[in-house]
Amino acid sequence: MIIVDGQQSSLELKQFANLEQVLERVMEDGRMQDRIVTDVLVNGEAFSEIYPHQAEDVDISFVDKVEVVSVSVAEMGMSIARELYKVISLMQKAAKRTAELFRLADDGAALEMYSDLTEVCRDFLNMVGVLRAEFSLQNLSAFEQSVADLSALFSEMIEIQENEDWILLADLLEYEFLPLVEKTKTVVAQLRESMKAVVHG
Q: What is the mean pLDDT of residues 21-39?
A: 88
Check whether residue 87 and residue 45 sit in a common domain: no
Beta bridge mates, 37:
70
DSSP string, 64-93: S-EEEEEEEHHHHHHHHHHHHHHHHHHHHH
Which range marks the domain in which residue 187 is found?
A: 75-200
Domain with residue 152: its CATH number is 1.20.120
Q: What pLDDT does residue 144 have?
A: 75
- Global pTM? 0.60
Check whether residue 84 and residue 151 sit in a common domain: yes
Check whether residue 83 and residue 49 sit in a common domain: no
Residues 35-90 pLDDT 10s: 888 899 999 999 988 888 899 999 999 999 999 999 887 777 777 777 888 888 88
Q: What pLDDT does residue 138 have?
A: 53
Check whether residue 145 and residue 60 sit in a common domain: no
Q: What pLDDT does residue 32 have?
A: 86
Q: What pLDDT does residue 178 have?
A: 93
Domain count, the chain: 2
Q: Is 169's pLDDT higher than 90?
A: yes
Nearest to 85 by CA among 187, 199, 174, 180: 187
Q: What pLDDT does residue 19 have?
A: 94
Whole-angstrom distance, CA of residue 12 vs CA of residue 21: 12
